[in-house]
C-alpha cells in the first residue's frame, strides 16, 4: 500500500507541480500580497489624515477654552 501511495503522490506532484504552474501560483500570490499592501498603505494614510484632523480640532477646542471663548462647564 505504501508503494501505491508513493506512486500516486509522485504522479500527482509531477502533473500538478510543474514549473509553469508553480510560477503562475507564486505570481498570483505575489500580486495579491502587493494589492493588500497597497490597500493597507491607503488605509493607513487615511487614518493618519483623520488623526491629524482630530488633533487639530482638539487643539482648537483647547485654545478656545484657554482664551475663554468656550466654557467647559457649559452643557451644550
Band (75; pLDDT cuts 50, 70, 90):
low
Q: Whole-prediction pTM value? A: 0.59
User: Does 60 reside within a domain?
Assistant: yes
Res 76: pLDDT: 65
φ, ψ for residue 73, nearest 5 deg: -90, -5
Q: How many residues does the chain have?
A: 76
- Residue with the bigger pLDDT between 5 and 49: it is 49
User: Does 40 reside within a domain?
Assistant: yes
Q: Which domain holds residue 13?
A: 2-67
User: Does 22 reside within a domain?
Assistant: yes
pLDDT in tens, 18-68: 899 999 999 999 999 999 999 999 999 999 999 999 999 999 999 999 898
Amino acid at each position: 500500500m505504501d508503494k501505491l501511495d508513493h506512486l500516486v503522490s509522485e504522479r500527482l506532484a509531477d502533473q500538478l507541480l510543474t514549473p509553469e504552474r508553480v510560477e503562475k501560483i507564486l505570481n498570483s500570490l505575489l500580486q495579491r500580497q502587493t494589492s493588500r499592501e497597497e490597500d493597507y498603505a491607503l488605509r493607513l494614510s487615511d487614518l493618519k489624515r483623520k488623526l491629524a484632523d482630530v488633533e487639530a480640532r482638539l487643539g482648537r477646542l483647547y485654545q478656545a477654552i484657554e482664551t475663554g471663548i468656550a466654557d467647559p462647564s457649559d452643557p451644550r
